[in-house]
Amino acid sequence: MSSLSHIQDGAHAPLRLRDAAGERELPPFITLEGVDGVGKSTQARLLVLALEHAGIDVLHLREPGGAAISEKIRALLLDPANSEMGDVCELLLYEAARAQLVHQVIEPALAAGTLVVCDRFYDSTTAYQAHAAGLDAAMVEQANSLAVNGCHPALTLVFDLDPVAAQRRSARTDADRMEAKGMVYQQRVAGGFRKIAKQDPQRVKIIDASGDIKCVFAQVRAQLGAAGIDLDEEDVAYALDSFGDSAALGRAGEADRA
């Protein structure tokens, strides 16, 4: 049976993951990051399926979005018609969507002992708005801090793949406003994620996303095991079988979206 290393001080006390050194307790909040088309959304779905099969209460979210107000902001951010949107406006809209998601959904879920898996979080803002768009890094960090109000991931998985290869994988023909910024921009985003991982190696782990879905998910499983969440072979098999047919499993990230 899979296990989640945790402590509970009461019937409704939140679960706590132990860090790699076992020295402190961390909130069970996992985020997945990467450039568009890299396969992280596929891996997020697989992870949630495996966790559910392991008997863990889990909530699957995405950014921007995840709450009614945040989804409305998402529509503004990704609409190609809003091409005149300035970088600071973009930053503040992302942070507004995030602040509402944290307030309305993430904090209550963590307080109830639910493990939260979120497809993108503030590392995307750092990679896109600071590293790629060139906004002042300290300003972006301050905006991130304001939005999350002390709510930080325990584990962040960055799916690393050259944006050109990621674009080839994608079955989409329509680009949203962020994707339409071009390949040079996406390359800067990818570099930004790598810098984030180098700066915070305890929390942020690089996943080589160049393999097929099964190979990539094996890396995800290993990183969760190191963080205190052990998924057994049955959990993994259930997730892969539930996700789709064998043809779909051979195309990592083909249907992945931001």
Instruction: Could you list the residues known to form a binding site, using ranges.
Output: 34-41
- Cβ neighbours of 20 (radius 10 Å): 11
| DSSP letters for 74-121 | HHHHH-GGGTT--HHHHHHHHHHHHHHHIIIIIHHHHHTT-EEEEES-
d(CA 215, CA 226): 17
| Residues making up the binding site for ATP | 34-41
Q: Helix-strand-coil percent breakdown of the chain, rounded to 5?
A: 50, 15, 35
Cβ-proximal residues to 11 (8 Å cutoff; 6+ apart), any chain: none
